[in-house]
Structure 1
Amino acid sequence: MEDRHETLVHGVVVRGVGVQPDTKCAHYASEKDIIAIKFPCCNTYYPCHACHDAVANHKATVWPNAQFREKAVLCGHCGHELSIQDYLEANNTCPSCFASFNPGCSRHYHLYFSMA
């Protein structure tokens, strides 16, 4: 896997390590690892928290509950942008193209979203 730090995914810039055209990265590359999350601290999409930590020059912040209507999740399969609320309610499936998302991502929600 190439060590790229910026890739266009359906016309959207996604930053990270080894980012592929469907948002897989050097850290998570299963067939269902096809989302990128926009971090509120830099308004930039990354495939995962580890990519943000590796590439960004600042500490990551999480989305507060009050902003869960913001479009901050990118489907790497079709390019559809979901609000955080829509993503959390999507049952690990893109509502636009019906591609399956990795259900294991829920273990990391606290790194992206305020779950309080």
Structure 2
Amino acid sequence: MELDNRTIEKFSRQILMDEIGYDGQLRLLSETVWLTGPDPWRAWAARYLRAAGLEVKESPAVKTSRNLRLIASSGRCPDLVIPVSGEGGQTMVAMGLAMTQWLRTLASGEMEA
């Protein structure tokens, strides 16, 4: 698969990053992620993941769950579970950092030890 000019322009910042690059962006674009968790956190995470180029399938969490769970359909990355209780700003920062690292692992195609 090759990226057309429009797609390259859309994801140019990620493609220019050493951690992602062209091949990594191809991996992200071919990935489907299953996302479960409480709103509004699930909706925010889905938006973030779609902006990175992933296809996202969502389902609401069990009402008592206070965790977001991300599952890569390819198995190229371990599941990610993010607690989403606490202050809104702190939770958003923690989610962003955790998902960024998870995306890097997905893009690299190599699971971290």
Give the helix-richer structure, 1 or 2: 2
Greater RCO between the two (CA within 8 Å, min separation 6)?
A: 2
Q: Give the shorter-chain TM-score range.
A: under 0.3
TM-score computed with the length of structure 2 as normaliser: 0.27
TM-score computed with the length of structure 1 as normaliser: 0.27
